[in-house]
């Protein structure tokens, strides 16, 4: 004999309500459906559960015994729902997050993780800081932060845009003093370029934009790598010109190691993405982490704009080195 737990809980509703009509109204089902399901349950059990009359319903002796079990089942179901709602109200459990290795110290305030762990002490945060693209499903990650112009289509994942990061060209003052400062993009083809390899293992041409005008080219160079830190070091030591996000280059610019090239031209902004398994329900711990991260990026962007305006106004205060230059996006 197979019993549907939902039918047992429906029977408990009917017994407590004292009528099919009242029970149907409380749970939002047609009276005929409730009556039919209770009759089918009696057939499966082989005995009557309710003694019906024109005025009221009464439990049979057998029905009374079944009602005790059905009521406990109903209570357990309500307890499970309350437990789930409590978990939704109080984020807890393990949260596995994959990030690029430089993200935590170069793009957001270092206090973000301290604040998150303080605000949500029942969440165990596990960070994987590596350049590899993790498999969220097989490796059981809740969230991955990825920095790319776009993401490949994957029906098993969902992506949310968090921020844009502007790109620009940089070189060391020593290199520019030796080889000259380009005044137009076409002059870049006479210079040495250091390039970041994409996920396909190839260096993409530089794309520059100014007032609706676009230039594209790939200067020759002695080295290309997927390690942006290495390219930064070699560029700072005068090996050539490279394309970096403005925030990543900012500390080296402030220290005098790098100088921006072609001030009026910028590369296409890079997007910061949050990628998650394509589940119907997002765990609360993931949601609050994303909300906190977006707030941190917004605070960084606003602080950076304030400091830039102060510098333009003639203030001698330097830009803080732990702030990110980003334009937050609406969630998608």
pLDDT of residue 61: 93
pLDDT of residue 319: 31
pLDDT of residue 190: 93
pLDDT of residue 184: 93
pLDDT of residue 189: 93
pLDDT in tens, the chain (332 residues): 678 889 999 999 999 888 898 889 988 899 999 999 999 999 999 999 998 876 778 899 999 999 999 988 988 888 787 777 666 678 888 999 998 766 655 545 567 888 888 999 999 989 888 777 888 887 888 999 887 767 777 777 888 888 777 889 999 999 999 999 999 999 999 999 999 877 667 788 889 999 889 999 999 988 888 778 888 999 999 999 999 888 778 888 988 999 999 999 998 887 888 888 875 567 888 889 998 888 887 766 555 455 444 444 543 333 333 323 333 333 33
Whether the model pTM is above 0.75: no
Q: List domains and CATH numbers for the chain.
A: 5-89 (1.10.10.10), 94-151+275-328 (3.40.190.10), 165-270 (3.40.190.290)
Give a three-class secondary structure readout of the chain: CCCCHHHHHHHHHHHHHCCHHHHHHHHCCCHHHHHHHHHHHHHHHCCCCEEECCCCEEECHHHHHHHHHHHHHHHHHHHHHHHHHHHHHCCCEEEEEEECCCHHHHCCCCHHHHHHHHHCCCEEEEEEECCCCCCCCCCCCCEEEEEECCCCCCCCEEEEEEEEEEEEEEECHHHHHHHCCCCCHHHHHHCCEEEEECCCCCECCEEEEECCEEEEECCCCCCEECCHHHHHHHHHCCCCEEEEEHHHHHHHHHCCCCEEECCCCEEEEEEEEEEEECCCCCCHHHHHHHHHHHHHHHHHHHHHHHHHHHHHCCCCCCCCCCCCCCEECCCC
């Amino acid at each position: 004999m197979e019993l549907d737990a939902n039918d047992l809980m429906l029977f408990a509703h009917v017994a407590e309500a004292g009528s099919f009509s009242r029970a149907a109204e409380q749970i939002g089902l047609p009276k005929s459906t409730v009556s039919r399901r209770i009759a089918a349950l009696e057939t499966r059990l082989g005995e009557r559960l309710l003694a019906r009359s024109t005025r009221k319903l009464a439990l049979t002796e057998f029905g009374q015994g079944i009602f005790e079990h059905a009521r406990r089942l109903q209570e357990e179901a309500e307890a499970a729902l309350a437990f789930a709602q409590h978990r939704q109200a109080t984020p807890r459990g393990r949260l596995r997050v994959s990030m690029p290795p430089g993200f935590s110290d170069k793009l957001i305030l270092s206090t973000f993780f301290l604040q998150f762990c303080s605000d949500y002490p029942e969440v165990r945060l596990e960070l994987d800081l590596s350049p590899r693209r993790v498999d969220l499903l097989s490796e059981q990650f809740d969230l991955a932060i990825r920095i790319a112009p776009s993401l490949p289509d994957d029906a098993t994942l969902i992506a949310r845009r968090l921020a844009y990061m502007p790109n620009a060209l940089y070189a060391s003052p020593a290199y520019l003093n030796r080889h000259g400062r380009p005044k137009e993009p076409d002059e870049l083809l006479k210079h040495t370029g250091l390039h970041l390899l994409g996920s396909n293992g190839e260096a993409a041409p530089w794309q520059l934009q100014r007032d609706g005008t676009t230039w594209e080219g790939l200067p020759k160079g002695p080295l290309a790598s997927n390690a942006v830190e290495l390219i930064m070091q070699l560029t700072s030591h005068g090996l050539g010109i490279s394309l970096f996000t403005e925030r990543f280059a900012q500390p080296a610019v402030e220290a005098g190691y790098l100088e921006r090239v072609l001030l009026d031209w910028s590369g296409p902004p890079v997007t910061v993405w949050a990628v998650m398994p394509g589940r119907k329900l997002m765990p609360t711990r993931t949601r609050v982490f994303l909300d906190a991260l977006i707030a941190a990026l917004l605070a960084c962007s606003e602080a950076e704009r304030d400091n830039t305006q102060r510098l333009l106004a003639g203030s001698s205060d330097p830009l803080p080195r732990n702030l990110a230059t980003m334009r937050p996006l609406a969630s998608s």
